Amino acid sequence: MNNKDINNFNDDNKEGNLRVRKDWQNLKKIILNRDYLIVFIAVSVLIFDFAMINIYSSYLREGSGASTAINTATPVVEELVKEPDQSVNDSANADSCNVAGINLHGDLITYYPRSDYSDSGDLNVDEVSSEEIYFAVKGIEKKENIKAIIVEIDSPGGQPVAAEELEKVFKSSSKPVIVYIRSMGVSAAYWAATGADRIFALPSSQVGSIAVNSSYMDATKNNQKEGYTFNDLTSGKFKNTMNSNKPLTDEERALVMKDLNITHDLFVKTVAENRKLDINKVKEIANGWAYTGSEALSLGLVDELGGLAEVSVYLKNNVLNGEDPEICWQILF
């Protein structure tokens, strides 16, 4: 290569380098432009979020099949039941499962009020809703591989209507429903449990408390001390009954007790019918007291003493034709 060619080659390289630098400067201007930069960051975040969602969804799908078919006492946390057609999650669809487990933990209510949720969407209160368990049972009934339902109860009770709803859905279920009471299954929780085909409890479990309560705190004396005046403005004389800021009149007390006694009688009748007990004997023990599991067995309130292991043996011998129970747990919260 002669000097002329060398010079031409160097000139071409210089021009090429200049073009590259110029293109780079233009690109930097575009990138550093605020509008372009905002769009670039937003698109990048969306792409990253989409990728992470796909990765997490894949992880859940792969993990559910490997970990939810269990025969131990440790429940597996599953998806929240939000709609009737979502009543049974993937764990209850696992081919290896032949028993579905439902937890009835905390206060029993009919539905979750919005005020019980935190800003992040988590429940702030230890409670369970009857509508959620109702739809869970109805969904499980459609699964051919599920032969029975275990309802694990650890609840101090709750609303009578919620108890009625669950008692009826357990009683009418096309699958055998077995209740296992842990530390307590009392009041409304026991009412619901009576709809099951069989009830287990541990010797130290608290069972029963067959009665209805509507007590509340009267704050009228404290209000007077603090100088507060309650203005009772209603169009009906019983509208403010049981308002803690006014005293309860004799007439109001009589009405409240009438309703409590009606609900109490329904509770007693339900226990007597479902447990096949003499109603007069149920009336004798329907004083609101919670009996130990051992006492409850002697009174006919439960069928057997034992925990999940004993429930599994019962299912194997009486429901599953000798097969070992494979329980898919669905925790409601």
**Of these residues, 91, 130, 187, 312, which one is catalytic?**
187
- Reduced to 3 states, what is the DSSP secondary structure of residue 103? strand
Examine the residue annotation and report whether 120 is marked as an active-site residue of this protein: no
Residue of 82, 239, 269, 281 with catalytic role: 239
The count of other CB atoms within 10 Å of the CB of residue 126 is: 13
CA-based radius of gyration for the chain: 32
CA-based nearest residue to 92, from 333, 332, 254, 297: 332
Rounded distance between C-alpha atoms, residue 137 and residue 169, angstroms: 8
Task: Return the SS3 of 287.
Answer: coil
Question: Could you count the other beta carbons within 10 Å of the beta carbon of residue 237?
Answer: 11
How distant, in Å, are the alpha carbons of 233, 242, 247, 249 from that of 254?
22, 12, 14, 9
Name the H helices within 70-152. 90-93, 130-140
Q: Which residues pair with 101 in a beta bridge?
A: 150, 329
**In contact, 194 and 274? CB cutoff 8 Å:** yes
187 is catalytic: yes
DSSP percent split of the chain into helix, strand, coil, nearest 5:
50, 15, 35
Residue 266 neighbours by CB distance under 10 Å: 15
List phi, psi (to 5°) of 170. Answer: -65, -45
| 8 Å CB contact between 190 and 210 | yes
CA distance linking residue 187 with residue 208, whole number of Å: 6
Q: In this structure, are strands 290-292 and 206-208 parallel, antiparallel, or unpaired?
A: antiparallel
Catalytic residue set: 187, 239
